[in-house]
Amino acid sequence: MDARFPNPARWTILAIGLVLSRLGLVDAKNVRRTTDLAWPRIVTGIARMSKNAVDVAFVGIAIGPAAIAGVGFAAPFWGMAFSLGGGFAGGTIALVSQRYGAGAYEEMGQAIRSSVALVLLVSLPVAAAFWLFPTELVSLMTGDEMTVELGARYLHIVSLGVPLAALNLVGSRIYIGADDAWTPMLLRAGGAVTNIVLSAVFVFQFGMGVAGAAWGTVLSNVVVTAVFAVGVVAGRLPGVGELPVKVDPTGTYLDVETVRQVVHIGLPVVGRNMVWTVAKFPMLAIVALFGPSVAAAYVISRRIWGLMNTPGWGFGLASSSLVGQELGAGDERSAETYARDVILFSVATYVVAAALVFAFAKPIVLSFVADSGDPSIPVAVSLVYVSCVAILAQGVNGSVAGPLDASGDTRWPFMAQAVGMFCCSIPLAYLGATTALGITGLYLSFVAETTIPAVLNYYRFSTGRWKVISRQFRPEASYADD
């Protein structure tokens, strides 16, 4: 992997890990394995979050704050595709990684087919609802006519990509579970770049506005899904070579026991992802109470937040894969060692990312608007500063969820996220919008969103209960003593 793609992203992440190793905090071997799995996923995350940020920037420059708010209000609905796909893909990576570690390749193929069938069954009705009722859905969060019109136009079109986006997440988890983070990075990051190029052409060259940004998203997902399907079935891709997974597409899809296991593991992950997605609806409605400038500032700050959170994409999935493989091989001690090393590695990387964004917060915000005198700018900058503090707890939260997901202990992270969002974050934002607390309520909301789940999830991890739970999902009944 090094020879094929020596790059700054990998070396930066590896350097952070090796500093921790020199300090005696983590094992150097674990740092290298984690880096090899994490950096491609982090690059994918940066590409995809950049795509989301660029969509907002494009429509903001072309149309103005109303378009920023419109796309921002439509985004949670599009996010449901990732909540569903990524949630059930949590079951996929748990089953694939454990079977890959145990060499049970036939069972691995069944897990993949069942995951694909399940994701299609749940995502198609969602896509239909978005296509049929976009205006009604967007108007649930705001009464501003221009914002509703632009948001509904965007949602109507991107609904076509919902099943495809969900399938892409399953495809990504298949390869990461089989110790290959390179292939999904190549495909999904390439898809994000394609998306940016298409959106730029549609928005600026053809003057299609928010519809252009939406079509760029849909068409790029068509391409990525098609390539994933070819790779999984053929076991190889032109220019990439042999892949670690090859699945017979004519086998059984709805195997009852496998579907049950994917649902058992994946449903709480869907719930946890949905907490993030569903919480955006009342949160955006509350933010709208502050006025259009704050609403636009909030959308901008969340896009920047998404970029800062990309290390979690890599470390969480690397931990799931490595811990799952060790559990599948019956080595619980090594599984816990990997998990603890990844948590420290993740937090250190988040510190570096947050420090960089904090230092350049204002110029980053200015890249989203055409008018440097826009009243949303100072609010957005202050929200970005707070995000840089709050994101550090996410470094713990995202990485500690990895071993819990790999073991099948996914209910606890779901509940932790729900408590953080619905019992703390949203109430604080509402107090800010309706009392003298004001914008400080939004600041506190950002912090509570990550800190509460991080504390609860780390407690669960520290109990070791996840290792016991993993035993019911392993392909073999033999495992090491605790």
Give tens-digit pLDDT for 220-257: 999 999 999 998 888 888 877 788 888 888 888 888 88
If you write DSSP's letter for every residue of 305-359 in order, what string do you get? HHHHTHHHHHHHHHHHHHHHHHHHTT-HHHHHHHHHHHHHHHHHHHHHHHHHHHH
Q: Which amino acid is at 249?
A: P
Q: Which amino acid is at 325?
A: Q
How remote is the C-alpha of 12 from its chain's centroid?
Answer: 21
What is the Cα–Cα distance from 470 to 346, expressed in whole angstroms?
23
The distance in angstroms from the start CA to the end CA of the chain is 34
Q: CB of 441 within 8 A of CB of 433?
A: yes
What is the Cα–Cα distance from 228 to 226, expressed in whole angstroms?
6
Q: What is the pLDDT of residue 342?
A: 92
Tokens of 207: 């003057």
Q: CB of 47 within 8 A of CB of 37?
A: no
- Residues in CB range of 471: below 8 A, 6 or more apart: 477, 479
Q: What is the pLDDT of residue 110?
A: 87
DSSP, res 63: T
What is the Cα–Cα distance from 308 to 330, expressed in whole angstroms?
35
Tokens of 81: 């595709």
- Residues in CB range of 141: below 8 A, 6 or more apart: 73, 281, 284, 285, 288
Q: How far is CA 178 from CA 88, 105, 226, 282, in A?
A: 17, 10, 20, 38
Helices and strands (DSSP H and E) totals, the chain: 19, 2
Closest by Cα among 41, 48, 111, 108 to 320 = 41
Q: CB of 61 within 8 A of CB of 139?
A: no
Closest by Cα among 308, 461, 399 to 17 = 399
Q: What is the pLDDT of residue 77?
A: 87
Residue 407, CA atoms < 13 Å, CB-side half-sphere: 26
Burial status of residue 250 (CB atoms within 10 A of its CB: 0-12, 13-18, 19 or more):
exposed
Q: What is the 3-state secondary structure (H, E, C) of 198-239?
A: HHHHHHHHCCCCHHHHHHHHHHHHHHHHHHHHHHHHHCEECC
Q: Which residues of the chain have pLDDT under 50?
A: 1-5, 477-482
Q: What is the pLDDT of residue 3?
A: 40
Domains of the chain by residue range: 8-470
Measured at the CA of 460, the angle between CA 458 and CA 461, to 5 degrees, comes to 65
Residue indicated by tokens 């079509």: 215
- Does the pTM of the predicted model rise above 0.85? no
- Secondary structure element (H or E) that encloses residue 473, with its range: none
Q: What is the pLDDT of residue 153?
A: 95
Q: What is the pLDDT of residue 50?
A: 74
Closest by Cα among 441, 451, 387, 463 to 419 = 451
